[in-house]
Chains A and B, each alone.
Chain A
């Protein structure tokens, strides 16, 4: 009996109020040997997001683009041309064939030598 009273007293706050989570039906001095359930803590967010909106997304305006199915397709049948043996200081002229096998306009923006 004295032992049970000691346990009840240690669980109470100095103000005499029962600790949070304590059963309301419990009377003063009643024994409560069962351990109190741990307080549920909210997980700490690892990001620096504010509590106002966790789903704020920054939308970067994208230029209108052609759907992949209707995109232009550049086809160059030969991507390596071998002129063979040539003399010095000669200008070789050749036409590179190409075709648009896509479904929208193909724009050749530039042809840059390297």
Chain B
């Protein structure tokens, strides 16, 4: 996964994620956890939902 290692105060960035839908039909949710030195939320989870037709 491609992501910035350091963000200075006030700076923005992005994390590029790739999700494979697979073969199983129906709803799916995959997650990524962002580990950082933010003391209030050292682990932040982002959910990626999709439905395979």
B interface vs A, CB < 8 Å?
A: 1, 3-23, 25, 30-41, 44-53
Contact = CB atoms under 8 A, between A and B. Distances in A.
Contacts, number: 171
Interface of A: 65-66, 68, 71-74, 76, 78-114
Contacts of A105: 6-9, 37
A74 B44 contact: yes
| Secondary structure type dominating chain A contacts | strand
Which of B17, B23, B49 neighbours the largest number of chain A CB atoms within 10 Å of its CB?
A: B17
Contacts of B4: 108
Contacts of A112: 32-33, 35
A107 B37 contact: yes
Contact of B39 (A68, A93, A94, A101): A68
3 A-B pairs with the lowest CB-CB distances in the bound complex, closest first = A83-B50, A100-B7, A95-B14
